[in-house]
Amino acid sequence: MSSDYTGSSAAYARQEAGYREKALKIYPWVCGRCSREFVYSNLRELTVHHVDHDHTNNPQDGSNWELLCLFCHDHEHEKYTDADNGQGSVIRAGEDDHQAATFNPFADLKAMMANKK
């Protein structure tokens, strides 16, 4: 069952492009967790989260979408992974909204920790 997610990433990328655009039209460009506001120049840091974590569930009224910034989106999935004993990694593999963003808030942190050792 989980192989369906990783095996069709191209199809998901197409589908994702559609629902991201729709979600950005329906909702204000504000993170649903930390209320950070977004504009065109940093819009790539605003991602579309699926409330039920099912990326195939994309109702046209947007009821399964939530706009989250990268920080809050990562946090949301960490919670889910903890609760579900590692199953969350399967979901993340098919989640192209993470890949769409080139900004990595943890890159510097990783470098800093490497320097300390």
Measure the CA–CA gap between 82 and 84, rounded to whole angstroms: 6
Q: Compute the C-alpha angle 33/82/94, nearest 5°.
A: 75
Interaction mask 21-60, Zn ion, x per CB under 5 A = ----------x-xx--------------x-----------
- 34 or 43: CB nearest Zn ion: 34
Q: Binding of Zn ion at residue 92 (CB under 5 A)?
A: no
* 24/22 Cα distance (integer angstroms): 5
For the bound state, the minimum distance from the C-beta of residue 65 to Zn ion, rounded and expressed in Å, comes to: 10
Report in angstroms how near the CB of residue 117 gets to Zn ion at its nearest: 30
* Nearby residues of 3 by Cβ (< 8 Å), 6 or more positions away: none
Residues lying near Zn ion in the complex (CB under 5 A): 31, 33-34, 49, 69, 72
